[in-house]
Amino acid sequence: MLTTRLAAVVPPDWHAATLDAVRAIHTGIFASVGGAILVVIWDGICQRPRRRTAVAAGVVLVESVVYASNNQVCPLTPLAEQLGAERGSVADLFLPSWISRRIPIVGTIGLALGLVLNLGAWLRMSGERPVAGESRPDPSAA
């Protein structure tokens, strides 16, 4: 695990304050990744892939790699537990357990949907652009 050694360097008197900071950071990351998934989905629904779509997708994919490479556990979860949290999962802090258990699958489906919609839009847009040297027919000439 990526963060297991960090709790050992935190003095015991600071565990509660550090746990609050870890929860705040964890919640911020969770909200940011969720927002990035929503951006990818929205831009796909609107059929307008943009630079922000690529940035949002990149953020989510990096987080996904970190999550998957850490045995499908956020690296901050064991740190929070070592600092005294009953459960380190950020989702359990404010969501019912039946929702929090489904977050990875819902997020994955949402991201996949958004990526497919954006890819389709991008392919349609790239097919509409004239190739260098070609000219488009003048619609007023008809």
The predicted model scores a pTM of: 0.78
Q: Could you state, in order of their start, the residue ranges of all structural domains in the chain?
A: 14-124
Residues 127 and 60 sit within 8 Å (Cβ to Cβ): no
Question: Alpha helices of the chain — where are they, by DSSP H?
Answer: 15-45, 51-69, 76-82, 91-94, 97-100, 103-128
Convert the pLDDT of each residue in 92-136 to its tens digit: 556 677 777 888 899 999 999 999 999 999 999 988 765 565 565
- Residue count of the chain, please give it: 142
Tokens describing residue 117:
């919609």
Backbone angles phi, psi at 82, to 5 degrees: -70, -25
Convert the pLDDT of each residue in 73-96 to its tens digit: 888 888 888 888 876 665 555 667
